[in-house]
Amino acid sequence: MMGNNNNIVLRTENIVKRFGGIKALQGVSIEVPKESIVMLIGPNGSGKTTLVNIISGFYKPDKGKVYIYDKDITGFSPHNIFKMGISRTFQIPLPFRKLTVLENLLVVARKVKGEGIIESLFKRSEWIKNEEMLVNKAMEILEIINLDHLWDKEAGKLSGGQMKLLEIGRALMSDPEVILMDEPVAGVNPRLANEIMEHVLALRDEYSISFLIIEHRLDIVLKYVDLVYAMHNGRIIACDLPERIVNHPAVAAAYLGG
């Protein structure tokens, strides 16, 4: 289901990854269109997280390419991929637990003035203005994700669901083109799970952000996404609209072990 490259913000081409004698990925090609929510599904061990680790630079592929728009970013470091506009959230949130909610957003901003000696000594007014801008931006993001009333609370004292929202906020501070999300609603109650996905939907619609989401809770997440790729044994076995994907024989067989 390959489309016009001008409309594709993220794509992989024939990604292969081996761990010893195990082929974790066997020629995986996917596309994430602009302003879309794309979901990766499949049983545990099907290769979903390995693929996201390659896209985000934590692993290097043995073969294949990763592109953001038409720029080849294969093998870039996680830091450089972050600078290119790809942010990531994790299944287990990783905040700076002793910092406040607001501080957790400020430390991940991509464009921070005043960190160099020259700027801090001779351009004080500039970096103070920049700092004020970043604080305002962070507070706007906290308002979007309904954490603004907790701005001065230590991140380590948040609930599990609030930490999931904070992960999204931290990703937004980098002005991403794409956010990679690893099980964003794992371990949270259905009400909060739907709230998290409503935020994702709003961010797609209002801020033109694309999402690539790994998730097992199909009953909750499928209704929010635009396109689904199903994986099994390191391969893409189906790609379709969310309302049709679960009816694919190959998908049913993969989940049932057939």
Q: What is the pLDDT of residues 47-103, one digit of tens each?
A: 999 999 999 999 999 999 999 999 999 999 999 999 999 999 887 677 888 999 999
Instruction: Look up the pTM and report it.
Output: 0.87
Same domain for 104 and 80: no
CATH of the domain at 191: 3.40.50.300
pLDDT recorded at residue 114:
47
Considering the domain architecture, whether residues 184 and 57 belong to the same structural domain is answered as: yes
Tell whether 183 and 90 lie within a shared domain: yes
Residues 73 and 191 both lie in one domain? yes
- How many domains are contained in the chain? 2
153 shares a domain with 123: yes
Residue 12, beta-bridge partner list = 30, 66
Q: Say if 167 falls within a structural domain.
A: no
pLDDT of the residue at 138: 94
Is 248 inside any structural domain?
yes
Cβ burial, residue 63 (10 Å; 0-12/13-18/19+): middle
Same domain (yes/no): 87, 10: yes
Establish if 207 belongs to a structural domain.
Answer: yes
Res. 2: pLDDT tops 70? no
9 and 89 fall within a common domain: yes
Residue 81 shares a structural domain with residue 37: yes
Structural domain that includes position 42: 5-95+178-256
